[in-house]
Structure 1
């Protein structure tokens, strides 16, 4: 299937509605209660960067976003391509769309950022590892309104794609602040 890359601004209102419907559908099974699996903060995290779409913008069957974030490491603010909202329509799972989306975001990260990062559950982590993403084994933290706070619960879920930033797992990756999930 052909993939299209476009900025959030080019999705338009209909494209944004279609994207939200896809994400709500794709993530519905991730919440045991069936509600809130993909909330407004999660949707907001996926906006403002570039989107990789499988299918037309008005009816996508697959999606991944790369948004710019700053991740501090060893006193350096790294321009980081953060991957968000990777999803495939439940009816289309198993036909390679997920791998194609992850390959496309890897190309975007390698072409425009010093580092790639994402948060992934165990099932999705296998897909990312096949495409060169590595689980971050060092400490994690977030720059919050109250200062830098450790985020140990994210250990094992945060993955990085090395581009040109030297990384030392003995030093923390510190993400910027945002509402909802920090990583």
Structure 2
């Protein structure tokens, strides 16, 4: 009787590809997927932020069900500048949520970060903090800034919402120190 109630989660296959390896049709499919995953609030700047790096694609059969992008950025704290893999556009298809697909995609993204970058980073709202913390991400508790034409500007609205994932190349750091990202259009973090 108990076995009759148990349903196995669909098996997810992972594919990591560089942005330039995706065809125009695949990019259009990915953009439509992210728009649906974000309840049709995934704008042009969000799409630009998800481009230029690598994509971890979670597939069930031939269907895209989960995604995370890792794009290169530089983050600085004190005199240290890290070549950072910044995670963007983490999404799971609505009918596939609750099966662990987001976790699986993020674990694969973490493997990529550890092998490729000096630091992993992302920005997340409070509703997602427990998810990232369970995966080993550390919340940056120091003040955040964006550098615009050589000038640092406070991004107090982002304080406490930036997470980092140390890699073998990270070295020592103090999460209470100021953290600076380079300017980009849209959300700085």
Does TM, normalized by the shorter one, top 0.5? yes
The Cα shift of 1:145 comes to 3.2
Equivalent residue for 2:90? Answer: 86
Equivalent residue for 1:25? Answer: 36
The Cα shift of 1:139 comes to 1.2
Residue ranges of structure 2 left out of the alignment (5+ in a row)? 1-11
Look up the SS of the partner of 2:82 in the other structure: strand
1:15 to 26, 29, 39: 26
The Cα shift of 1:166 comes to 1.9
Aligned length: 175
Look up the SS of the partner of 1:62 in the other structure: strand
Q: Distance in 2 between matches of 1:169 and 1:124?
A: 19
**Structure 1 vs Structure 2 CA RMSD:** 1.5
Residue ranges of structure 1 left out of the alignment (5+ in a row)? 29-34
Matches within 5 A, 1:170-181: 170-181=176-187
Provide Cα deviations, 1:77-124, integer angstroms capped at 9, x if missing partner: 210010000000001000010100110111111111111110011222
Q: Distance in 2 between matches of 1:138 and 1:171?
A: 5
Look up the SS of the partner of 2:160 in the other structure: coil
1:4 to 15, 37, 62: 15
Q: Runs of 4+ in structure 1 displaced over 3 angstroms? A: none
Matches within 5 A, 1:1-183: 1-28=12-39, 37-55=41-59, 59-145=63-149, 147-163=151-167, 164-183=170-189
* Contact kept? 2:71, 2:85, Cα under 8 Å: yes
Equivalent residue for 1:31? Answer: none
Q: Distance in 1 between matches of 2:77 and 2:187?
A: 20
* Contact kept? 1:15, 1:59, Cα under 8 Å: no
- Which structure's CA Rg is the greater one? 2
